[in-house]
């Protein structure tokens, strides 16, 4: 089992010391959420909270690619995983240039978690159509993967069309692309196009259903024997026995945080308290499995 630390929507000065401490504590990765902007007026709902309230994102949130670059400069082995970057609202060639540069600068310590933004406003302000966003993102994933391979690459799809181009530098080994989302289309896209799937949270029964469906799709597509990462948020991640249960379910990575980032009242949690929490977790869980 690998361990990913999640912190966001907080004092931005915390990230540098947290990255150093997270690496020292034995975590393998730091999860970096993505939010483009916060609209003054919106009817959109957040799909992973029963209330649908999205006001929690009206707080400091750095661009995940810049934040990863910043923290990579102060660490040696820690990886950085977008959780998840809103790929569908961005230009895929520019994204490929950004992530290939980040992967190269960090010595291949970047994992690209991607997904669809649930909010039409993100698409509108970035000049991207809301319609056919899933199909368009599928082409984007192909473009990013192709351009990050290092050779000349051309693409002729329904939404994007360009002749041979090359990026330099690019990662010296393949950059993992992980897909988020709980919908059927998202699960299928993760299996057919990704190196893994990222879970956004929920109860045990929901998680089991999602994992069962992932395995069904993998068997249907004939890739059940292919390496496939599964990153989850679960209360079972907070005990050694729970970690073993998750491993038995096929989970490869757990994502853990030590405050409720959906609760604005927790945003002011002191850095010292965060450092104590992650150190205790390392002692009670990471060192026990």
Q: What is the pLDDT of residues 111-158, one digit of tens each?
A: 999 999 999 999 999 999 999 999 999 999 999 999 999 999 999 999
All domains of the chain, ordered by start, with CATH? 2-288 (3.20.20.30)
Nearest to 271 by CA among 16, 101, 74: 16
Confidence of residue 203 (pLDDT cuts 50, 70, 90): confident
Mean pLDDT computed over 179-204: 96
Tokens of 230: 């599964």
Which of the 8 DSSP states describes residue 174?
Answer: P
The reported pLDDT for the residue numbered 184 is 97
Nearest to 39 by CA among 108, 102, 121: 121
| CA–CA distances in Å: residue 241 to residues 51, 144, 202, 237, 280 | 31, 38, 19, 9, 16
Confidence of residue 88 (pLDDT cuts 50, 70, 90): very high
Instruction: Tell me if 104 sits within 8 A of 72, measured CB to CB.
Output: no
Asked whether the predicted pLDDT for residue 200 surpasses 90, the reply is yes
For the entire predicted model, the pTM comes to 0.95
Beta-ladder partners of 180? 198
Q: What is the pLDDT of residues 241-258, one digit of tens each?
A: 999 999 999 999 999 999
Quickly count: other Cβ atoms within 10 Å of residue 54's Cβ: 19
Nearest to 72 by CA among 113, 11, 29, 13: 29
Give the phi and the psi of residue 177 in degrees, each rounded to 5: -115, 120
Confidence of residue 45 (pLDDT cuts 50, 70, 90): confident
Tokens of 283: 């002692």
């Amino acid at each position: 089992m690998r361990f990913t630390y999640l912190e966001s929507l907080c004092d931005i000065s915390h990230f540098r010391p947290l990255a150093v401490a997270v690496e020292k504590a034995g975590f393998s990765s730091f999860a970096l959420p993505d939010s483009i902007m916060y609209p003054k007026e919106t009817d959109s709902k957040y799909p992973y909270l029963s209330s649908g309230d999205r006001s929690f994102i009206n707080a400091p949130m750095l661009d995940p690619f810049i934040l990863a670059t910043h923290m990579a400069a102060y660490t040696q082995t820690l990886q950085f995983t977008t959780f998840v970057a809103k790929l569908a609202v961005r230009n895929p060639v520019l994204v490929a240039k950004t992530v290939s540069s980040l992967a190269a600068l960090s010595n291949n310590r970047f994992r690209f978690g991607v997904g669809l933004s649930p909010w039409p406003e993100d698409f509108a302000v970035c000049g991207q159509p809301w319609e056919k966003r899933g199909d368009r993102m599928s082409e984007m994933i192909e473009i990013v993967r192709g351009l990050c391979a290092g050779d000349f690459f051309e693409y002729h799809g329904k939404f994007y069309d360009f002749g041979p181009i090359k990026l330099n530098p690019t990662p010296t080994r393949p950059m993992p692309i992980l897909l988020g989302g709980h919908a059927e289309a998202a699960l299928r896209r993760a299996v057919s196009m990704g190196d893994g799937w990222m879970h956004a949270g929920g109860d045990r029964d929901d998680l089991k259903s999602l994992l069962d469906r992932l395995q069904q799709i993998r068997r249907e597509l004939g890739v059940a024997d292919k390496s496939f990462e599964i990153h989850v948020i679960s209360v079972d991640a907070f005990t050694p026995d729970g970690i073993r249960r998750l491993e038995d379910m096929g989970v490869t990575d757990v994502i853990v945080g030590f405050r409720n980032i959906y609760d604005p009242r927790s945003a002011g949690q002191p850095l010292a308290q965060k450092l104590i929490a992650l150190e205790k977790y390392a002692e009670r869980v990471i060192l026990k499995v």
